Structure 1
């Protein structure tokens, strides 16, 4: 889709204090991840990474769906191996960058989240789904195994459940997604915004320094052997203890008062 067809930004940004909400904005295409959409999302994430005042990000979407995955029409228009490698590398960079951001990212999921859209949910640090949301890695239905989505999916749900979704393309509902660990919780559709807001606020009530230390450590240690993970985590925790927020938080606890975080 060109600029004249849709002059509106492909990703909308809303600021509310330390909370940033990014909304995918191709509603007529069920927010399919076109090259331009991926570039727009990457640009917003790059900006957020440089803004220390941001404490939490919510990733949401306009229209009836969260995200239907890659734009198959756009993909089919250029049948070239180099093009596909570049496209999937671009998408993978966005997914990795979500986890590399210094602040937590919450997926607010409504409608369908399929293929790379399901990958997007799995790549977020946290996810809340409306009860009517549905999830699938359905590329297999069109002869395309969802290889890159499988990376994120298999790091959220068990191997057998992930593989079943990948080779059958079948949908799971929001309560199943919560039970399997793809999302944190499923709530009635009318309670979705409230639940996301509560989760975001509970994060923003905590020490910004502790959250930043913790998120970076959490993902890095998961790739390490146990002894290496403990050694690395100990270093991070020691550095965290040297932060002013840790001193303030422990002092406040001992004095039975609320802490006053530095930022």
Structure 2
């Protein structure tokens, strides 16, 4: 996979976006001296990067420069505006999570280091995640006398009750290996192997049909998040299949190859 060289002007931006091969893009948080805490400029940069990827990227890798993945919202920044009311609305931290959740591309979190508070929220809202074994993931909010407003609910929806409670109530950090054992991430690898592992995962996912990925992502959020009853879930599965048949020739082509005894993408 080729990686474009960023210009000096680009590297000064709080969020970098690169478009790689085969429908894969990478969004990188670029405030390493602030542990990639998300100030208004970074949040707006994230929204712009997601917009840039819309319609051209099947898979988006999200990662951070330096020792941190993301330390959450920058609490030291006051009420700052971009000067664009619509962008301000979309770059509020809860809205950024919805931008990721509703984006047509599959989002993979490459957790390279510290993921604290809102950084852990990003792991939970990503569709897939790979962490460095040495990463540190936690929620410090209880130490401020707070309940983690986004990170808490995100963990409670994704993790077992006791694992979520441990993160919320102790302010202790877990490493990437523990995060994989708990199901917070799909895989943990040594930090030196993170880029290779994430790139391989992104390439595999991007090898599939774009419409199939987009609608499968929708179904993964819909069930059981909105539909938890069996009959309704199966009915929604049929709706998704009908949408894909109407929107893409990939289904007919794939069935044709199968009937002809040929292998489809992803088959061993």
Q: Check conservation: 1:248, 1:259, Cα contact below 8 A.
A: no
Q: List aligned pairs for 1:1-263, cutoff 5 A.
A: 8-17=12-21, 18-49=23-54, 51=55, 53-74=56-77, 90-222=92-224, 223-226=226-229, 227-242=231-246, 243-259=248-264
- Taking a change above 3 Å as real, the CA distance of residues 40 and 89 of structure 1, as seen in their structure-2 partners, is closer
> Which is further off, 137-146 or 100-109?
137-146
Q: Check conservation: 1:110, 1:133, Cα contact below 8 A.
A: yes
Question: 2-side partners of 1:157 and 1:88: how far apart?
Answer: 27
- 5+ residue gaps, structure 2, are 1-9, 81-87
Question: 1-side partners of 2:57 and 2:71: how far apart?
Answer: 28
Report the secondary structure of 1:190's partner residue.
Answer: helix
- Taking a change above 3 Å as real, the CA distance of residues 10 and 181 of structure 1, as seen in their structure-2 partners, is same
Report the secondary structure of 1:20's partner residue.
Answer: strand
- Taking a change above 3 Å as real, the CA distance of residues 88 and 14 of structure 1, as seen in their structure-2 partners, is closer
Moved over 6 A (4+): 86-89
Question: 2-side partners of 1:48 and 1:151: how far apart?
Answer: 27
Question: 1-side partners of 2:13 and 2:245: how far apart?
Answer: 42
Number of aligned residues: 245
TM-score by length of 2: 0.85
Report the secondary structure of 2:92's partner residue.
Answer: helix
TM-score by length of 1: 0.87
Instruction: Name the Cα RMSD after superposition.
Output: 2.2
The structural deviation recorded for 1:143 is: 2.1
Deviation per CA, 1:5-48: give whole Å up to 9, x if none: x9811110111121100000001000001121111101211232
